[in-house]
């Protein structure tokens, strides 16, 4: 295996695409972490090697298990052999910083080739880089490349082939000495390590030393962290000395690596920043870009989503037709299983793809162009009020379209603590699947206007739901951030990377891989969930026409409902889902809900908007959407045996609060589980949101009753 290591934003993905057969690259989940790396085939002299693209890092000493990926891969700590060679990608403009990482890696005695990227950017800034001088000082081959243009990639391959042919000759000894005190300390740390780790010597001891004051860092279960902490109790400055020793070496040698000092200011990037970070122009640009992303997710994705739905509807009809007009009962069950469970389930997976693809396409473009970091910088002050970093903005905004791509988008957040917090509150943002539910309730139950009140009630009610959702998201983030994730520091910096023209190939490649990854990872769970929910509303099979009493028939004729549909509604009442709806009635009664709404809530686990169709089924109206007048009328006129209305504006309000707060989307839970690699976090999110929803609705309904509304 060959490992590709480098700082973030040095063009690593571009290089990876350039030297591997990128299209066959696979996202590989790295053991025990939520990080995924890319593995692609790299051909050298006719031999295929696995090339692992390790997530960008500034140091081998990570702050979280995620950031230990590079170190673990390089040391072969995960039971896999260490790489045969490292390609260390350096940045021609920011040489010292990228070669700091090289020095750390060199100490670990792994054969290495340094590829200095962005040679073109350096040239544009008037810098010439002396590759030979760097090679002489580091003691390993150094190749200049420009990954974007593909310059120097052949030279890199040649150098890499030579290293692999004769690895021993390409291991450099440590370049700098340690002070006697530091040497002693590193040796004492090494002595505390088990043999498996001690063989990496002072280099690993140094990495451990750096990571020690990080609560989140746990590089290896066998490292006796407490014993080492005790050993170092009063030598805190060793960390500083360790880092400064390397930088002193770098600063002593770097004047020989380039012929001009890095100039400050007046680059194209700086001139662009004058506009992009300008209080007025920059803010306007920010709203324009975010507006574009939101429009894309909300509006542009819609025709594609409809197309997928129609396509799967049409396939379903075709398959159903193949069973003939009057199949036997067994064949009828099989037909409905295939059409509604299987075909419907695959459709339920694929409807997410337009939004996922569009979101990852935009994030890829913004990230690679350098704008995403600036957007995070611009909103950092605002998001800090919610205890989140600026990077959380795009995922949260995406949540208003759909939580599934939004949760996936948190991958662009470097720190796991922030990522986890963002993922936990995203399901509270008002996703587009809630909109049909709100629309149905508001249009059926809320007056168009109230005398003496100047504003139209219905749009105002809808707007209030969005404001409510936003406020709750912020509050939840503050509370959860304090309660659960308080241990870690919140200090963070953002690097405003130079503007670069994004490569369409890299962006499309990552869009494609993320879409594919979603289908492979979350697809199975979503399919199973669809089938289970279908079965819950389908079994046991009851012929609803047997349940039609003369009163029901008379009522249906009076209201002009189709008798078959009414019969279906009665059959639904006998289904597992219907029974569960009735069973939970005592729990949801204090919220103002009856068992029919309970069935609707259960059906909504497939997707929140399914609530509308389920209400249609319950009230005997086929294929109802939120615009359906008959459904609105049915809802508005339903009465209990005692003559009181089932659906009042107060019940509507309580139900909307419930939908705003409850975690009712199995697809979101599936993605949460995949992204956190756990069942614990989705279980937690489900629990806290369900409790929140119940308490929220209870408060609204009971307060309303107390105030005299019914």
3-state secondary structure of 52: strand
In the complex, what is the shortest distance from the CB of residue 284 to another protein, in angstroms, rounded to a whole number? 10
> Could you give the CA distance from residue 379 to residue 389 in angstroms, rounded to a whole number?
8
Choose between 130 and 492: whose C-beta lies nearer to another protein.
Answer: 492
In the complex, what is the shortest distance from the CB of residue 209 to another protein, in angstroms, rounded to a whole number? 10
CB atoms within 10 A of CB 259: 11
In the complex, what is the shortest distance from the CB of residue 657 to another protein, in angstroms, rounded to a whole number? 32
In the complex, what is the shortest distance from the CB of residue 224 to another protein, in angstroms, rounded to a whole number? 20
423-434 b/e with 16+ CB inside 10 Å = b?
bbbbbbbbbbbb
Contact residues for another protein (CB under 8 A)?
58-59, 61, 63, 93-94, 96-97, 100, 210, 213-214, 216-217, 236, 239-240, 243-244, 247-248, 262, 264-265, 273, 277-279, 282-283, 377-378, 380-382, 384, 489, 491-497
Q: Six-digit token pair at 280? A: 């007025």
Choose between 21 and 179: whose C-beta lies nearer to another protein.
Answer: 179
12 φ, ψ to 5°? Answer: -65, -45
In the complex, what is the shortest distance from the CB of residue 102 to another protein, in angstroms, rounded to a whole number? 13
Choose between 215 and 524: whose C-beta lies nearer to another protein.
Answer: 215
Q: Six-digit token pair at 198? A: 């001690």
> Could you give the CA distance from residue 482 to residue 477 in angstroms, rounded to a whole number?
8
Choose between 96 and 107: whose C-beta lies nearer to another protein.
Answer: 96
Choose between 104 and 664: whose C-beta lies nearer to another protein.
Answer: 104
Choose between 173 and 264: whose C-beta lies nearer to another protein.
Answer: 264
In the complex, what is the shortest distance from the CB of residue 478 to another protein, in angstroms, rounded to a whole number? 17
In the complex, what is the shortest distance from the CB of residue 645 to another protein, in angstroms, rounded to a whole number? 49
Decide if 16 contacts 53 (C-beta within 8 A): yes
Among 405, 409, 369, 404, smallest CA distance to 392 is for 409
In the complex, what is the shortest distance from the CB of residue 470 to another protein, in angstroms, rounded to a whole number? 19
> Could you give the CA distance from residue 674 to residue 410 in angstroms, rounded to a whole number?
13
Choose between 497 and 570: whose C-beta lies nearer to another protein.
Answer: 497
Give the angle subtended at the CA of 23 by the CAs of 19 and 25, to the nearest 5°: 75
Choose between 236 and 520: whose C-beta lies nearer to another protein.
Answer: 236
Among 446, 434, 437, smallest CA distance to 636 is for 446
> Could you give the CA distance from residue 408 to residue 314 in angstroms, rounded to a whole number?
30
38 φ, ψ to 5°? Answer: -110, 135
> Could you give the CA distance from residue 477 to residue 362 in angstroms, rounded to a whole number?
25
Choose between 487 and 558: whose C-beta lies nearer to another protein.
Answer: 487
In the complex, what is the shortest distance from the CB of residue 493 to another protein, in angstroms, rounded to a whole number? 5
In the complex, what is the shortest distance from the CB of residue 256 to another protein, in angstroms, rounded to a whole number? 17
In the complex, what is the shortest distance from the CB of residue 77 to another protein, in angstroms, rounded to a whole number? 20
Choose between 290 and 584: whose C-beta lies nearer to another protein.
Answer: 290
Choose between 212 and 403: whose C-beta lies nearer to another protein.
Answer: 212
3-state secondary structure of 155: helix
Q: Which residue shows structure tokens 């992204």?
A: 675
Choose between 389 and 581: whose C-beta lies nearer to another protein.
Answer: 389
CB atoms within 10 A of CB 338: 16
Side-chain-side CA neighbours of 530 within 13 Å: the count stands at 24
- What length is written for the chain? 710
Decide if 571 contacts 543 (C-beta within 8 A): yes
Q: Which residue shows structure tokens 């542009």?
A: 300
In the complex, what is the shortest distance from the CB of residue 91 to another protein, in angstroms, rounded to a whole number? 8
In the complex, what is the shortest distance from the CB of residue 474 to another protein, in angstroms, rounded to a whole number? 17
> Could you give the CA distance from residue 668 to residue 648 in angstroms, rounded to a whole number?
31
Q: What own/partner pairs with CB < 8 Å and gap ≥ 24 does 508-513 have?
A: 508/361, 508/364, 509/17, 509/22, 509/23, 509/25, 510/13, 510/360, 510/364, 511/357, 511/360, 511/361, 511/364, 513/25, 513/26, 513/27, 513/38
Alpha carbon of 313 to those of 53, 300, 433, 599: distances in Å?
41, 21, 19, 24
Choose between 237 and 589: whose C-beta lies nearer to another protein.
Answer: 237
3-state secondary structure of 486: coil
């Amino acid at each position: 295996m060959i490992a590709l290591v480098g700082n973030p934003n040095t063009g690593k993905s571009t290089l990876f695409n350039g030297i591997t057969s990128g299209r066959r690259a696979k996202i590989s989940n790295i053991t025990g972490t939520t990080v995924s790396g890319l593995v692609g085939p790299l051909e050298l002299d006719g031999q295929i090697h696995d090339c692992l693209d390790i997530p960008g890092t500034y140091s081998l000493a990570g702050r979280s298990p995620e950031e230990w990926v590079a170190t673990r891969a390089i040391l072969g700590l995960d039971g896999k052999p260490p790489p045969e060679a490292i390609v260390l990608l350096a940045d021609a403009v920011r040489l010292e910083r990228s070669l700091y990482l090289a020095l750390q890696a060199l100490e670990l005695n792994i054969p290495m080739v340094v590829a200095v990227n962005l040679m073109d950017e350096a040239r544009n800034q008037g810098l010439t880089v002396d590759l030979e001088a760097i090679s002489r000082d580091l003691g390993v081959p150094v190749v200049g490349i420009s990954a974007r243009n593909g310059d120097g990639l052949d030279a890199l391959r040649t150098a890499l082939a030579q290293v692999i042919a004769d690895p021993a000759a390409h291991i450099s000894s440590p370049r700098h000495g340690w002070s006697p005190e530091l040497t002693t300390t590193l040796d004492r740390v090494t002595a505390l390590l088990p043999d498996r780790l001690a063989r990496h010597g002072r280099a690993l001891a140094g990495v451990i030393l750096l990571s020690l004051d990080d609560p989140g860092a746990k590089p290896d279960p066998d490292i006796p962290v407490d014993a080492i902490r005790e050993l170092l109790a009063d030598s805190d400055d060793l960390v500083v000395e360790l880092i400064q020793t390397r930088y002193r070496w770098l600063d002593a040698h770097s004047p020989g690596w380039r012929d001009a000092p890095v100039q400050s200011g007046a680059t194209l990037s700086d001139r662009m920043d004058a506009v992009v970070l300008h209080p007025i122009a920059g803010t306007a640009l920010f709203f324009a870009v975010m507006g574009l992303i939101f429009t894309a997710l909300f509006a542009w994705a819609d025709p594609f989503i409809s197309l997928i739905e129609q396509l799967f509807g049409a396939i379903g009809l075709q398959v159903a037709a193949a069973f003939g007009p009057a199949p036997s009962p067994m064949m009828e069950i099989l037909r409905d299983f295939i059409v509604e469970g299987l075909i419907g389930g695959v459709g339920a997976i694929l409807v997410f793809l337009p939004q996922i693809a569009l979101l990852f396409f935009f994030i890829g473009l913004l990230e690679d162009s350098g704008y995403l970091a600036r957007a995070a910088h611009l909103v950092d002050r605002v998001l800090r009020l919610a205890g989140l970093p600026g990077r959380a903005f795009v995922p949260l905004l995406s949540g208003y379209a759909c939580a599934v791509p939004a949760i996936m988008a948190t991958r662009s957040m470097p720190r796991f603590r922030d990522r986890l917090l963002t993922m936990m509150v995203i399901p509270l943002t008002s996703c587009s699947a809630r909109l049909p539910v709100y629309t149905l309730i508001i249009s059926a139950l809320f007056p168009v206007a109230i005398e003496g009140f100047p504003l139209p009630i219905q749009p105002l009610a809808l707007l209030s739901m969005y404001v409510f959702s936003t406020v709750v998201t912020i509050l939840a983030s503050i509370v959860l951030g304090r309660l659960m994730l308080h241990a870690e520091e919140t200090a963070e910096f953002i690097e405003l990377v130079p503007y670069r023209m994004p490569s369409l190939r890299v962006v499309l490649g990552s869009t494609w891989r993320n879409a594919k990854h979603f289908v492979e990872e979350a697809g199975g769970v979503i399919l199973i969930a669809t089938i289970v929910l279908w079965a819950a509303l389908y079994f046991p099979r009851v012929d609803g026409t047997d349940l039609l009493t003369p009163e029901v028939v008379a009522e249906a004729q009076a209201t002009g409902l189709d008798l078959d549909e009414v019969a279906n509604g009665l059959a639904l009442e006998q289904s597992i889902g219907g029974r569960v709806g009735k069973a939970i009635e005592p729990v949801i009664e204090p919220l103002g809900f009856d068992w029919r709404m309970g069935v609707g809530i259960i059906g909504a686990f497939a997707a929140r908007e399914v609530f509308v169709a389920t209400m249609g089924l319950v009230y005997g109206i086929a294929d109802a959407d939120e615009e359906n007048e008959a459904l609105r009328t049915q809802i508005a006129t339903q009465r209990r045996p005692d003559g009181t209305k089932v659906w009042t504006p107060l019940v509507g309000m309580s139900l909307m609060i419930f939908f705003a707060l409850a975690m009712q989307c199995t697809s979101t839970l599936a993605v949460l589980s995949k992204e956190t690699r756990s069942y614990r976090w989705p279980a937690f999110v489900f629990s806290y949101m369900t409790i929140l929803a119940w308490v929220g609705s209870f408060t609204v309904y009971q307060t309303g009753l107390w105030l005299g509304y019914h």
